[in-house]
Homo-oligomer: A and B are copies of this chain.
Amino acid sequence: MYSSVRPDVFRSLFYPRGVAVIGSVSAGKLGHEIIRQMLSGGFAFTWAVNPKGQGLLSVPGFTSVSAIGQPVDLAVIASPAATVPEVLHDCGRAGVSAAVIITAGFAEVGNSAAEEELVRIARRHDIRFVGPNCAGILNTRHRLAPMLEVIPPDGATALISQSGALGGAVLAWAEEQGLGFSKFVSYGNRADLDEADLLRYLADDPETKVVAMYIESVGDGREFMAALAACTRRKPVVVIKAGRSSAGRRATLSHTGSLAGSDAVYDAALRECGALRVRNVEELFDLCKGFSALPPMSGRRIAIVTNSGGPGVLAADRAEEVGLDVAEPGPALRAELASFLPAHCAIRNPFDLTVEGDEESYRRTLTAVLGEYDGALALDVNPAYLDSLPLARGVADAIVQSDKPVVVNFMAGRAVAAGVEHLRGRGISNYPTAERAVAVLVRMAEYHEASRVQIADCKLQIASCKLQIQNPKSKIRNLTSETEPAIMAWLRENGIPTPPFQVAETSEAAVRAARAIGYPVVLKVVSPEILHKTEVGGVKLDIRDDAGVLAAFAALAASAAGKEFHGAIIYPLIRGAHEALVGLSYDPQFGPVVAFGLGGIYTELLKDVALRVAPVDRDRAREMICETRAAGLLIGARGQRPADLDALAALIARVSELPFLYPEIAEVDLNPVFVSPDGVLVGDARVIRRLT
């Protein structure tokens, strides 16, 4: 299950004794750029390899890796695509154990065969590689920069990026943003080492406190989840995933399928594994700065210390909106603050020191509130005539003496330049706005709250539910030949509660069945040729007597005119229950996905649906229920008895296991599921199986 990458591969990749850069060193060529960056980084043991044996600046040149005659652990390959196989052979002969293949022109342009060949050759020589079609890697602490991008400041954030360009833009922006990086990997086509391998490595990397990722897709959804959960158990992982609007990946065959667009599945998987998804590079910087520099945020109560009322309220607005608690101070804190704050400072949260707030009042107020709150925002809205430096001193002193996180916003521009400089000197980031600063605290609190051990464990369980399905893209057929009685019987066999039902092939049998079940009843047509029963008039509700059954049976027979008619299925009428939807669909990257929502407009109009990668246990199924906005209805609004959530959670969990028991199942749609205080019952079901 775990990745089979040996630790020495990553040692060769990030801490090589020597590095060969293969490719032309002429100006404008990739090899030229890479060697320049290697020299900028300051790594001493670099050699150039190209047909002419040309060197560049202080880097000597050779005609082959084997000819270097010194230990070469890492090869950085930037020669033309057609030459890469031969280069790999050369590397193998020279004892290279890791490679970074910058060269493009493989699977990304449709040339998968050439890419597969690279993998075969590398395997033969026991070489593991990053790429092809990537922008290189970086290990700041080892001064190793075989890449095409700007070298960022040293720091505690590792960045792994599917897009070289986006990764490069992040690194180029790092200095201005005040964020340092420990490692960077642009992994391109991930023909060999992929995001899951890198996550597993970074989980244990002592130089990395935070992992930042940019992904567009993942190789193996479940392997990714397992690696991600293992990593978030150790340190925060902040993820940008592109493609929220993309409809391309959807494999929509049923109602449930259309609800579970692929990006929604990514979103659920990321959340489930404890990763923190952000929407853009600014948020990525904001969070990485917070996680790499601040102590943990162990709760959601924050104090806002400001010298301007309105901006303090704006920050409080945002804080409450994102889920922080801008709580009022308790009596002890109130008394403490009253002992030193001037009378014109109202002692409430936000704590407004007014424009007269000085070094001492910032220091003492921050120190005092950090005794009671879980974290704080220090806000200075600085008029031009006010010197920001003493305020920064007061803020910085309080911060370095506390074990609680404090985010800072000194506004703005040159009015606060001296203060911001002082803060930076003490390792304190100044956020551009108070709103962005408080948004960091809530994500830090989220990370702290996630019971990481538990998440990781349940994710290991998911990973172990590896699919037996060999070809997930095999054709899917709708089993119209399986009629409702067969599906209902199958559900019941599998522990999923259905109402009592009988099948009657004649009207007389229908009357007997209805009497046995007890009026009022429901009759539905049974025909392998009718999929959408309601549309043909094949469903008759609220039938109250024998005469009604006879009429209904005749109508059903008529609805099947010209088609195979197997009679009617008869159920009791179920009243006073909520109608929910439980579905299972198949995501091309994550496999089976389970969905829950209340029926009708809740799912269709309000898109109020909870998703999880299957399987889920009952606890997580219950989380899904509570996650929907309409959950309040089930829990019992206005003094009604609460619905049987235990039974509903058990049903969701059971449905989520089905594809692992029956690998041929592609989709299941239980709609409606009747949910009442007395239990749950499936009212109708569709099951779609794969053609094997």
Measured CB to CB, the residues of A under 8 A from B are 33, 37, 109, 135, 148-150, 162-166, 168-170, 172-176, 214, 216, 240, 242-246, 279-282, 307-311, 313-314, 316-321, 326, 344, 355, 381-385, 411-416, 432-436, 601, 604-606, 629-630, 632-633, 637
Contacts and interface: CB of A to CB of B under 8 A. Distances in A.
Contacts of A385: 33, 148
The 10 closest A-B pairs by CB, nearest first: A173-B412, A165-B308, A169-B411, A172-B415, A163-B310, A244-B317, A172-B413, A245-B320, A165-B381, A242-B313
Contact of A311 (B163, B313, B605): B163
Nearest to A152: B413
A599 to B, nearest CB: 12
A427 B415 CA distance: 25
A321 B629 CA distance: 20
Given A169-B381, A169-B382, A245 B326 contact: yes
A261 to B, nearest CB: 12
Given A164-B383, A601-B632, A629-B606, A172 B412 contact: yes
B240 A383 contact: no
A317 B243 contact: yes
Contacts of A175: 413-414
Contact of A168 (B242, B282, B319, B384): B384
A612 to B, nearest CB: 22
B243 A282 contact: no
A435 B279 contact: yes
A314 B240 contact: yes
A584 to B, nearest CB: 24
Nearest to A40: B384
A413 B433 CA distance: 19
A280 B601 contact: no
A165 B311 contact: yes
A595 B171 CA distance: 50
A242 B432 contact: no
Nearest to A434: B280
Contacts of A605: 629-630, 632-633, 637
A632 B601 CA distance: 8
Nearest to A311: B166
Contacts of A381: 163, 165-166, 168-169
Nearest to A344: B109
B606 A606 contact: yes
Given A280-B433, A601-B633, 17 more contacts: A149-B384, A150-B384, A150-B414, A163-B309, A165-B307, A165-B355, A165-B383, A166-B310, A168-B382, A168-B384, A169-B412, A175-B413, A245-B317, A279-B318, A280-B318, A281-B433, A605-B637
Given A33-B385, A216-B313, A308 B174 contact: no
Nearest to A245: B320
A282 B311 CA distance: 13
Contacts of A150: 384, 413-415
A47 B385 CA distance: 21
Nearest to A147: B384
Contacts of A170: 412
B168 A383 contact: yes
24 contacts: A135-B383, A149-B384, A150-B413, A150-B414, A166-B308, A168-B381, A169-B412, A169-B415, A170-B412, A172-B413, A173-B411, A214-B310, A243-B313, A245-B316, A245-B326, A246-B317, A280-B314, A281-B411, A281-B412, A601-B633, A605-B632, A605-B633, A606-B606, A606-B630
A242 B314 contact: yes
Contacts of A319: 245
Q: Which of A243, A309, A383: most chain B Cβ within 10 A?
A: A383
Nearest to A36: B385
A363 to B, nearest CB: 20
Nearest to A177: B413
Contacts of A604: 632, 637
Nearest to A281: B433
A249 to B, nearest CB: 12
Q: Which of A172, A244, A246, A326: most chain B Cβ within 10 A?
A: A172
A170 B326 CA distance: 25
A168 B216 CA distance: 42
Contacts of A317: 242-246, 279
A317 B240 CA distance: 12
Contacts of A307: 165
